[in-house]
Amino acid sequence: MTKIVVDSSCDLPDEYFKEKDIKIIPLYLKVGDKFYKDGVDIKSEEFVELLKKEKNLSTSQPPLPDFINTYKEIIEKGDDIISIHITGRGSGTYNSAKMAKEEINTDKIDVLDSENISAGYGFIVKRVCELVEKGLSRKEILTKFNEIVSRVQIFFTLNTLQYVYKGGRVNDVKGLILNVLDIKPILHMKEGLPRIYKIIRGRNNSLRELSRIVTEKIKESERNFELAFIHLDAKKELEELKNNLLSKLQPKYHFTKIVGSALGVHAGPGALGVAINFLED
Protein backbone atom coordinates (compact mmCIF):
# COMPACT_ATOMS: atom_id res chain seq x y z
CA MET A 1 0.00 0.00 0.00
CA THR A 2 1.11 3.58 -0.59
CA LYS A 3 1.47 5.73 2.53
CA ILE A 4 1.52 9.50 2.53
CA VAL A 5 4.20 11.37 4.47
CA VAL A 6 4.03 15.13 5.05
CA ASP A 7 5.80 17.68 7.20
CA SER A 8 4.15 19.62 9.99
CA SER A 9 3.61 22.71 7.87
CA CYS A 10 0.78 20.89 6.08
CA ASP A 11 -2.56 22.35 7.19
CA LEU A 12 -5.51 19.95 7.03
CA PRO A 13 -8.02 19.09 9.78
CA ASP A 14 -6.35 17.04 12.54
CA GLU A 15 -8.91 14.25 12.11
CA TYR A 16 -8.02 13.99 8.45
CA PHE A 17 -4.44 13.02 9.22
CA LYS A 18 -5.64 10.38 11.66
CA GLU A 19 -8.32 9.00 9.40
CA LYS A 20 -6.02 8.64 6.42
CA ASP A 21 -3.05 7.50 8.51
CA ILE A 22 -0.81 10.26 7.17
CA LYS A 23 2.62 10.41 8.82
CA ILE A 24 3.70 13.88 9.89
CA ILE A 25 7.38 14.72 10.20
CA PRO A 26 7.66 17.71 12.49
CA LEU A 27 9.61 20.79 11.54
CA TYR A 28 11.67 22.24 14.36
CA LEU A 29 10.98 25.50 16.10
CA LYS A 30 14.13 27.18 17.15
CA VAL A 31 14.25 29.48 20.15
CA GLY A 32 17.83 30.66 20.52
CA ASP A 33 19.85 27.45 20.52
CA LYS A 34 16.95 25.24 21.66
CA PHE A 35 14.86 23.15 19.32
CA TYR A 36 11.24 22.05 19.74
CA LYS A 37 9.28 19.71 17.55
CA ASP A 38 6.47 21.58 15.85
CA GLY A 39 3.09 20.14 16.81
CA VAL A 40 4.67 17.65 19.21
CA ASP A 41 6.54 19.68 21.84
CA ILE A 42 4.55 22.78 21.00
CA LYS A 43 0.88 22.75 20.01
CA SER A 44 -0.61 25.39 17.78
CA GLU A 45 -2.38 27.19 20.66
CA GLU A 46 0.87 27.50 22.58
CA PHE A 47 2.65 28.57 19.46
CA VAL A 48 0.79 31.89 19.15
CA GLU A 49 1.74 32.79 22.69
CA LEU A 50 5.34 31.81 22.09
CA LEU A 51 5.42 33.81 18.88
CA LYS A 52 4.21 36.94 20.62
CA LYS A 53 6.66 36.53 23.46
CA GLU A 54 9.81 35.20 21.86
CA LYS A 55 11.82 37.51 19.63
CA ASN A 56 14.21 34.89 18.30
CA LEU A 57 11.80 32.30 17.07
CA SER A 58 12.46 30.61 13.75
CA THR A 59 11.73 27.32 12.06
CA SER A 60 14.18 24.78 10.80
CA GLN A 61 13.87 21.81 8.49
CA PRO A 62 13.66 18.36 10.12
CA PRO A 63 17.08 16.72 10.40
CA LEU A 64 17.82 13.83 8.06
CA PRO A 65 17.36 11.02 10.63
CA ASP A 66 13.75 12.09 11.22
CA PHE A 67 13.00 11.38 7.57
CA ILE A 68 15.13 8.26 7.39
CA ASN A 69 13.52 6.68 10.45
CA THR A 70 9.99 7.38 9.30
CA TYR A 71 10.68 6.16 5.79
CA LYS A 72 12.41 2.98 7.00
CA GLU A 73 9.59 2.17 9.38
CA ILE A 74 7.03 2.36 6.58
CA ILE A 75 9.10 0.45 4.05
CA GLU A 76 9.90 -2.31 6.55
CA LYS A 77 6.17 -2.95 6.82
CA GLY A 78 6.10 -3.56 3.09
CA ASP A 79 4.47 -0.27 2.13
CA ASP A 80 5.74 2.38 -0.25
CA ILE A 81 5.68 6.15 0.15
CA ILE A 82 4.63 9.42 -1.41
CA SER A 83 6.32 12.14 0.62
CA ILE A 84 4.93 15.62 -0.10
CA HIS A 85 6.47 18.77 1.32
CA ILE A 86 6.29 22.48 1.83
CA THR A 87 7.59 24.49 -1.13
CA GLY A 88 11.21 23.67 -1.83
CA ARG A 89 11.93 27.26 -2.76
CA GLY A 90 11.01 28.44 0.70
CA SER A 91 12.36 25.66 2.89
CA GLY A 92 15.12 23.07 2.92
CA THR A 93 12.62 20.39 4.00
CA TYR A 94 12.00 19.07 0.50
CA ASN A 95 15.73 18.88 -0.17
CA SER A 96 16.32 16.96 3.06
CA ALA A 97 13.54 14.54 2.20
CA LYS A 98 15.20 13.88 -1.16
CA MET A 99 18.53 13.27 0.54
CA ALA A 100 16.94 10.90 3.00
CA LYS A 101 15.53 8.95 0.09
CA GLU A 102 18.97 8.80 -1.45
CA GLU A 103 20.48 7.65 1.88
CA ILE A 104 18.07 4.77 2.05
CA ASN A 105 18.69 4.12 -1.61
CA THR A 106 15.27 2.87 -2.55
CA ASP A 107 12.75 3.28 -5.33
CA LYS A 108 9.89 2.84 -2.90
CA ILE A 109 9.66 6.57 -2.19
CA ASP A 110 8.55 9.53 -4.30
CA VAL A 111 9.45 12.90 -2.81
CA LEU A 112 7.27 15.70 -4.18
CA ASP A 113 7.35 19.48 -3.87
CA SER A 114 3.91 20.98 -3.22
CA GLU A 115 5.22 24.44 -4.20
CA ASN A 116 2.69 25.67 -1.70
CA ILE A 117 2.22 26.26 2.01
CA SER A 118 -0.27 25.75 4.81
CA ALA A 119 -3.76 24.81 3.57
CA GLY A 120 -2.66 25.20 -0.05
CA TYR A 121 -0.15 22.45 0.60
CA GLY A 122 -2.91 20.65 2.53
CA PHE A 123 -5.26 20.56 -0.44
CA ILE A 124 -2.53 19.04 -2.62
CA VAL A 125 -1.98 16.31 -0.03
CA LYS A 126 -5.71 15.72 0.20
CA ARG A 127 -6.00 15.28 -3.55
CA VAL A 128 -3.11 12.82 -3.64
CA CYS A 129 -4.76 10.88 -0.80
CA GLU A 130 -7.96 10.64 -2.79
CA LEU A 131 -6.12 9.31 -5.83
CA VAL A 132 -4.30 6.72 -3.72
CA GLU A 133 -7.65 5.59 -2.36
CA LYS A 134 -9.01 5.43 -5.88
CA GLY A 135 -6.29 2.93 -6.58
CA LEU A 136 -4.01 4.97 -8.80
CA SER A 137 -0.39 3.84 -8.89
CA ARG A 138 2.46 6.02 -7.69
CA LYS A 139 3.51 6.51 -11.28
CA GLU A 140 0.05 7.63 -12.32
CA ILE A 141 -0.11 10.08 -9.45
CA LEU A 142 3.31 11.42 -10.35
CA THR A 143 2.16 12.27 -13.88
CA LYS A 144 -0.88 14.07 -12.50
CA PHE A 145 1.01 15.87 -9.76
CA ASN A 146 1.84 19.10 -11.61
CA GLU A 147 -1.77 19.52 -12.50
CA ILE A 148 -2.84 18.91 -8.91
CA VAL A 149 -0.41 21.59 -7.77
CA SER A 150 -1.66 24.07 -10.35
CA ARG A 151 -5.26 23.70 -9.16
CA VAL A 152 -4.55 25.15 -5.76
CA GLN A 153 -4.29 28.82 -4.91
CA ILE A 154 -3.79 30.55 -1.61
CA PHE A 155 -4.26 34.19 -0.67
CA PHE A 156 -3.54 35.64 2.72
CA THR A 157 -3.21 38.99 4.39
CA LEU A 158 -0.98 40.07 7.24
CA ASN A 159 -1.78 42.37 10.10
CA THR A 160 1.82 43.27 10.74
CA LEU A 161 4.89 43.21 8.54
CA GLN A 162 7.24 42.72 11.46
CA TYR A 163 7.42 38.95 11.12
CA VAL A 164 7.64 38.67 7.37
CA TYR A 165 10.39 41.25 7.44
CA LYS A 166 12.33 39.45 10.14
CA GLY A 167 11.80 36.04 8.54
CA GLY A 168 13.13 37.28 5.25
CA ARG A 169 11.40 34.66 3.13
CA VAL A 170 9.26 36.95 1.08
CA ASN A 171 11.80 38.30 -1.33
CA ASP A 172 9.82 41.10 -2.80
CA VAL A 173 8.92 42.30 0.67
CA LYS A 174 11.88 44.60 0.12
CA GLY A 175 9.64 47.07 -1.61
CA LEU A 176 7.37 46.90 1.40
CA ILE A 177 9.74 48.19 3.96
CA LEU A 178 8.02 51.32 5.00
CA ASN A 179 9.38 53.26 7.90
CA VAL A 180 6.24 55.13 8.72
CA LEU A 181 3.13 54.08 6.87
CA ASP A 182 1.21 50.99 7.92
CA ILE A 183 0.16 48.69 5.08
CA LYS A 184 -1.70 45.40 4.86
CA PRO A 185 -0.42 43.42 1.90
CA ILE A 186 -2.22 40.48 0.35
CA LEU A 187 0.18 37.69 -0.56
CA HIS A 188 -0.15 34.58 -2.66
CA MET A 189 2.07 31.72 -3.75
CA LYS A 190 3.59 31.93 -7.19
CA GLU A 191 6.08 29.44 -8.60
CA GLY A 192 6.67 28.14 -5.12
CA LEU A 193 7.41 31.51 -3.57
CA PRO A 194 5.27 33.85 -1.49
CA ARG A 195 4.75 37.00 -3.50
CA ILE A 196 2.90 40.22 -3.01
CA TYR A 197 -0.42 40.07 -4.79
CA LYS A 198 -1.65 43.47 -3.80
CA ILE A 199 -0.90 46.18 -1.29
CA ILE A 200 -3.79 47.58 0.68
CA ARG A 201 -4.09 50.23 3.36
CA GLY A 202 -6.39 49.53 6.30
CA ARG A 203 -7.20 46.14 7.84
CA ASN A 204 -10.87 46.24 6.87
CA ASN A 205 -9.98 47.20 3.34
CA SER A 206 -7.57 44.29 3.09
CA LEU A 207 -10.13 41.78 4.41
CA ARG A 208 -12.70 43.09 1.98
CA GLU A 209 -10.18 42.86 -0.84
CA LEU A 210 -9.21 39.30 0.14
CA SER A 211 -12.84 38.28 -0.02
CA ARG A 212 -13.24 40.04 -3.36
CA ILE A 213 -10.18 38.32 -4.85
CA VAL A 214 -11.35 34.87 -3.75
CA THR A 215 -14.84 35.46 -5.14
CA GLU A 216 -13.44 36.74 -8.40
CA LYS A 217 -11.07 33.77 -8.84
CA ILE A 218 -13.91 31.34 -8.27
CA LYS A 219 -16.30 33.12 -10.62
CA GLU A 220 -13.61 33.25 -13.30
CA SER A 221 -12.86 29.54 -13.17
CA GLU A 222 -16.47 28.31 -13.29
CA ARG A 223 -15.30 25.09 -11.62
CA ASN A 224 -16.36 23.28 -8.51
CA PHE A 225 -14.06 24.07 -5.64
CA GLU A 226 -13.12 23.51 -2.02
CA LEU A 227 -12.12 26.20 0.45
CA ALA A 228 -9.86 26.37 3.46
CA PHE A 229 -9.90 29.22 5.93
CA ILE A 230 -6.73 29.75 7.88
CA HIS A 231 -5.76 32.23 10.54
CA LEU A 232 -3.35 32.94 13.30
CA ASP A 233 -4.90 34.72 16.26
CA ALA A 234 -7.62 36.28 14.11
CA LYS A 235 -10.53 33.97 14.78
CA LYS A 236 -13.27 36.55 14.89
CA GLU A 237 -12.27 38.28 11.70
CA LEU A 238 -11.90 34.94 9.97
CA GLU A 239 -15.40 33.87 11.05
CA GLU A 240 -16.80 37.03 9.54
CA LEU A 241 -14.92 36.55 6.30
CA LYS A 242 -15.94 32.92 6.20
CA ASN A 243 -19.64 33.63 6.75
CA ASN A 244 -19.55 36.31 4.15
CA LEU A 245 -17.92 34.03 1.56
CA LEU A 246 -20.08 31.01 2.38
CA SER A 247 -23.20 33.11 1.97
CA LYS A 248 -22.40 33.62 -1.70
CA LEU A 249 -20.20 30.67 -2.62
CA GLN A 250 -20.96 26.94 -2.45
CA PRO A 251 -17.77 24.97 -1.90
CA LYS A 252 -17.97 21.18 -2.09
CA TYR A 253 -15.98 21.00 1.10
CA HIS A 254 -14.41 23.45 3.48
CA PHE A 255 -12.42 23.53 6.67
CA THR A 256 -10.91 26.02 9.08
CA LYS A 257 -7.51 25.74 10.68
CA ILE A 258 -5.03 27.67 12.74
CA VAL A 259 -2.00 28.36 10.55
CA GLY A 260 0.88 25.96 11.16
CA SER A 261 3.98 27.37 12.73
CA ALA A 262 6.08 27.18 9.56
CA LEU A 263 3.95 29.86 7.97
CA GLY A 264 2.99 31.40 11.30
CA VAL A 265 6.54 32.38 12.19
CA HIS A 266 6.71 34.47 9.04
CA ALA A 267 3.15 35.70 8.86
CA GLY A 268 2.72 36.73 12.49
CA PRO A 269 -0.42 37.11 14.61
CA GLY A 270 -3.38 38.46 12.70
CA ALA A 271 -2.51 36.57 9.53
CA LEU A 272 -5.57 35.30 7.77
CA GLY A 273 -6.11 33.57 4.46
CA VAL A 274 -8.13 31.45 2.11
CA ALA A 275 -6.94 28.51 0.03
CA ILE A 276 -8.95 27.40 -2.99
CA ASN A 277 -8.79 23.94 -4.50
CA PHE A 278 -10.35 23.88 -7.95
CA LEU A 279 -11.75 20.44 -8.62
CA GLU A 280 -11.45 18.37 -11.75
CA ASP A 281 -14.65 18.08 -13.76
The binding site for another protein (CB under 8 A) comprises: 30, 33, 58, 60-61, 63-65, 88, 92, 94-96, 98-99, 102-103, 167-169, 174-175, 177-183, 198-205, 207-208
**Number of Cβ atoms within 10 Å of the Cβ of 185:** 21
CA–CA separation, 165 and 168 (whole Å):
5
CB closer to another protein out of 102 and 147: 102
CA–CA separation, 273 and 275 (whole Å):
7
CB closer to another protein out of 224 and 244: 244
> From start to end of the chain, where are the E strands?
2-7, 23-25, 28-31, 34-37, 57-60, 80-85, 109-113, 152-157, 184-190, 193-200, 225-231, 253-258, 272-278
CB closer to another protein out of 54 and 251: 54
Residue 182 in contact with residue 203, Cβ under 8 Å?
no
Closest contact distance (angstroms) between CB of 10 and another protein is: 20
Closest contact distance (angstroms) between CB of 281 and another protein is: 33
Angle at 133 between CA 131 and CA 135, to 5 degrees: 75
Residue 82 in contact with residue 125, Cβ under 8 Å?
no
> From start to end of 32-168, where are the E strands?
34-37, 57-60, 80-85, 109-113, 152-157
Closest contact distance (angstroms) between CB of 126 and another protein is: 25
Closest contact distance (angstroms) between CB of 156 and another protein is: 17
CB closer to another protein out of 1 and 181: 181
CB closer to another protein out of 46 and 102: 102
CA–CA separation, 238 and 236 (whole Å):
5
Residue 96 in contact with residue 64, Cβ under 8 Å?
yes
Closest contact distance (angstroms) between CB of 29 and another protein is: 13
Closest contact distance (angstroms) between CB of 35 and another protein is: 9
CB closer to another protein out of 58 and 256: 58
Closest contact distance (angstroms) between CB of 198 and another protein is: 7
Query: What is each CA distance from 135 to 20, 202, 259, in whole angstroms?
Result: 14, 48, 31
CB closer to another protein out of 27 and 275: 27
